[in-house]
Amino acid sequence: MLDVKGLTPSLIEPWRTSSFANIHQAPWHLVGNIEALLKQQIAGLDPSYTCVEDVAVHYSAIIEAGAVVKGPAIIGPNCFIAAGAYLRGGVYLERDCIIGPSSELKTTAMFAGSKLAHLNFVGDSIIGADVNIEAGAIIANYRNELENRNIRIAYRGQVIETGVDKFGALVGDRSRIGANAVVAPGALLARGSIVGRLQLIDQKPED
């Protein structure tokens, strides 16, 4: 049987040495708890972070005027958040991350060197290191089109019943998501995945 609690460290190498390393939860449960987890982590950050209203920003990070960051959030070293970006619902940026203009990041952890270009939405997700998401690409988090909105995932010949109705994706390290692609709610993308421009990834099992 698939070990859902081991999915995140199996696809995201820096998870193993991160502040989340001792948390053993399925990725959809972790994003559901991320606000509480971030508040705990903020309390233990070193003085290189400045914290205002549950938003902790490393001294080397840049947040342009016009960006909105709602707590709890941790913005790590050398991160860049462009004007017009909107971060909410519990956001963690490890280091060297870029959130481009007019991008929205909700209830998501991103690891070192990952980037949203611009005009993106990423919701309720865990994004590995060195992931590039091109302009207009979407990682959706809610099955609005279904009467039963519980997220179910077809993965390696099994059907995973997450028991939640909001979850975007677990995206492995070094993945590339092309412009205007859509990743439907409930996706598990292996390390080095390539999603082409305008491509749809939907791992909902066939009924």
pLDDT greater than 80 at residue 1: no
Would you say residue 51 lies in a domain? yes
Which is it for strands 55-58 and 80-81: parallel, antiparallel or unpaired? unpaired
> Quick one: tokens of 61?
């990070």
**Are 181 and 200 contacting, i.e. CB atoms less than 8 angstroms apart?**
yes
| Catalytic residue numbers, as ranges | 118
Alpha helices in 12-53 (DSSP H): 27-32, 34-43
Number of folded domains that form the chain: 1
> Quick one: tokens of 95?
């280091």
Would you say residue 23 lies in a domain? yes
Would you say residue 103 lies in a domain? yes
Percent of the chain at pLDDT above 70?
100
pLDDT score, position 206? 86
Q: Is the dihedral of CA 175, 181, 184, 185 positive or negative?
A: positive
Would you say residue 132 lies in a domain? yes
- What's the pTM value of the predicted model, to 2 decimals? 0.97
Q: What is the mean pLDDT of residues 79-83?
A: 98
- Give yes or no for a cis peptide into 72 (omega within 30° of 0): yes
Would you say residue 207 lies in a domain? no
Would you say residue 158 lies in a domain? yes
pLDDT greater than 80 at residue 194: yes
Would you say residue 206 lies in a domain? no
CATH number at residue 160: 2.160.10.10
Q: Structural domain of residue 162, as residue ranges? A: 4-201
